[in-house]
Amino acid sequence: MAAFRSFWAAVVDIYDDTLVLLGGNVAALLLNVPLFLLGIVLVYIATGEPPAPLVSAALATIMAFLPTPGNVALAGVSQVAAGPDVARLRVFVETLRERWGIAWRCALVSVVVLVALLWNVVFYLNFGATWSLLVAILWTYATVVWLSLHLYVVPLSVHVAQPRVFDLYRRAAFVALGHAGYTFVLLVLLLIVTFAAVLFLPIYVLVAQSFVSLAQAHALREIRRRHGDLMVEAEEEVSRT
């Protein structure tokens, strides 16, 4: 139920801070376009043909979870919106300026590892043997685990005062594996909603990435509450009763 509570909290925040999150969503999307085009090029190089529409939709879906500079800047806005304070669009610019370097390094790590994992999945699926299917399933599990880390890598990149690449992924791994059920349910919900938003493109352009960012922010807040690192604000306590 905690995963659904974080999911619903993101819905409420989208409604409360619509204009700010809409602006942040569009700005993050524009910053993510070069990385998306790079993904298209990599698929073309690997397959020798342009990616199918569903593959492009899957790339756009995954893009919303990665620690790109645009998504990290949007996480700064979401961190404020998820709390008791009022979000302002200037936070996007400030976070982008402060976290640009760490965001690019994390994005590079995330993309390289994700490409390697997906390559192994495809390779063993095409191998043709029975045993290779089992290996492909194991690589698929590893891919899901890697994606689950990104529920926390992005919000941690703005929460930690002096973030370092290895430390962010280490923290995210501890959180994701320590709360595996909560993380998996929330990840599946967000993947479904984001993929559906890609199919209805205006929704993706306007709010999808902000929604994912808010859910990530609430996920980290939920974990911090469980460990006594964050007190529940009065208005949050009322809304949950």
Q: What is the DSSP string of the chain?
A: -HHHHHHHHHHHHHHHTHHHHHHHHHHHHHHHHHHHHHHHHHHHHHHSSPPPHHHHHHHHHHHTTS--HHHHHHHHHHHHHTSSSPP-THHHHHHHHHHHHHHHHHHHHHHHHHHHHHHHHHHHHTT--HHHHHHHHHHHHHHHHHHHHHHHHHHHHHHSSS--HHHHHHHHHHHHHHTHHHHHHHHHHHHHHHHHHHHSHHHIIIIIHHHHHHHHHHHHHHHHHHTTSSPPPHHHHHHT-
Its pTM stands at 0.84
Average per-residue pLDDT for the chain: 85
Write out pLDDT tens, residues 55-67: 899 999 999 999 9
pLDDT in tens, 193-230: 999 999 988 888 888 898 899 899 988 988 888 877 76
Domain-wise residue ranges, the chain: 2-226
- Write down the pLDDT at residue 123: 85
- Percent of the chain at pLDDT > 70 equals 88
Residues 6-60 pLDDT 10s:
776 666 666 556 678 788 889 999 999 988 888 888 888 877 788 888 889 999 9
Query: Can you give the pLDDT at residue 113?
Result: 94
